[in-house]
Amino acid sequence: MSLLSVQALDIRHGLLQAVCGVSFEVDEGETVALIGANGAGKTTLLRAIAGVHRPSGGQISFDGSDVTQTPAYDRVAMGIALVPEGRRLFAGLTVEENLRISCASGRKGDWTVDRVMETFPMLKARRKARCSTLSGGEQQATAIGRALMTNPRILLLDEVSLGLSPLVVELVYKSLESFIASDATILLVEQDLNRAVKVASRVICMLEGRIVLEGGSQEMTRARITNAYFGHQKHSRSEPAP
């Protein structure tokens, strides 16, 4: 049984249908990259899975239970954690205070403030610094660490590299390597195609709210991904490359 199952999901922003009939599954221990151009519906989809945006149709199941109408805070307690686009930190609080807020979810696990510091060494010297004074990379590391402090069963990462220099992106992903390699379950939104294919075992490409390509990251050529990304050629699901 898959850990996360999304079936025929429709999501609207007022009169605009941002996600149209999307279906896919994520198995436990799998890293899946969700790619697509701006406006493809990726962030809206992640927010719906986290419970921040209510869908207008379809179903979201987590570990066999229908969570479509479950509030976001209850989903966090079940093990669904979102690192939102833009980080959304409490700017007036310190790094450590932002991390400790996540303990309110009540989930037991191995993630502690010290473990986050070991995972993201860039934060060690900034532990008592207010988040308003952090660099973009330090803010992103804090946002990821805050999500990890909920001891999630699935981590939803939205635009890890957004607004960061290539060097800082490399440092953030380098810090995540051990977590990704530990059979963690991750659904990752990433516009950097090279990065997405490198870290994910499977890639899902969205265009105008629909899935147009899906398959193992090693099965698809860059040309096929690029064509789907820009809408030059549409597919419902991928087939192994010849």
**Confidence tier at 103 by pLDDT (50, 70, 90):** confident
Between residues 147 and 106, which one has the greater pLDDT? 147
Is the model's pLDDT at 95 over the cut of 70? yes
Amino acid identity, residue 135?
A: S
Specify the range with the lowest mean pLDDT, choosing from 35-49, 140-154, 218-232.
218-232
Is there a contact between 213 and 55 (Cβ–Cβ < 8 Å)? no
Is there a contact between 217 and 209 (Cβ–Cβ < 8 Å)? no
State the distance between the two ends of the chain, measured CA to CA, in whole angstroms.
Answer: 30
Q: Domains, the chain, ranges and CATH?
A: 4-230 (3.40.50.300)
Between residues 192 and 145, which one has the greater pLDDT? 145
| Residue 241: half-sphere exposure toward Cβ, Cα within 13 Å | 13
Nearest partner of 19 among 228, 207, 154, 214, judged by Cα: 207
User: What is the average per-residue pLDDT within 128-138?
Assistant: 94
Sheet hosting strand 57-62, strand order edge to edge? 16-26, 4-13, 57-62, 65-66
SS3 118: helix
Beta-bridge mates of residue 20: none
pLDDT (0 to 100) of residue 241: 38
Residues 51-67: tens digit of each pLDDT: 999 999 999 999 999 99
Q: Running DSSP on this structure, what letter comes out for residue 85? A: T
Q: How far apart are CA 113 and CA 100, in angstroms?
A: 7
Q: How far apart are CA 136 and CA 121, in angstroms?
A: 15
Residue 19 in tokens:
């996600």
Between residues 108 and 92, which one has the greater pLDDT? 92
Nearest partner of 119 among 87, 148, 90, 154, judged by Cα: 148
Query: How much is the mean pLDDT over the chain?
Result: 90
pLDDT (0 to 100) of residue 200: 92
User: What is the average per-residue pLDDT within 151-165?
Assistant: 89
Residues 161-216: tens digit of each pLDDT: 887 888 888 888 888 888 888 889 999 998 888 888 889 999 999 999 999 999 99
Q: How far apart are CA 162 and CA 148, in angstroms?
A: 19
SS3 30: coil
Q: Running DSSP on this structure, what letter comes out for residue 237? A: S
pLDDT (0 to 100) of residue 238: 47
User: What is the average per-residue pLDDT within 112-125?
Assistant: 94
The percent of residues above 70 in pLDDT, for the chain, comes to 95
pLDDT (0 to 100) of residue 52: 95
Length of the chain: 242
pLDDT (0 to 100) of residue 233: 56
pLDDT (0 to 100) of residue 211: 96
User: What is the average per-residue pLDDT within 87-93?
Assistant: 90
pLDDT (0 to 100) of residue 36: 92
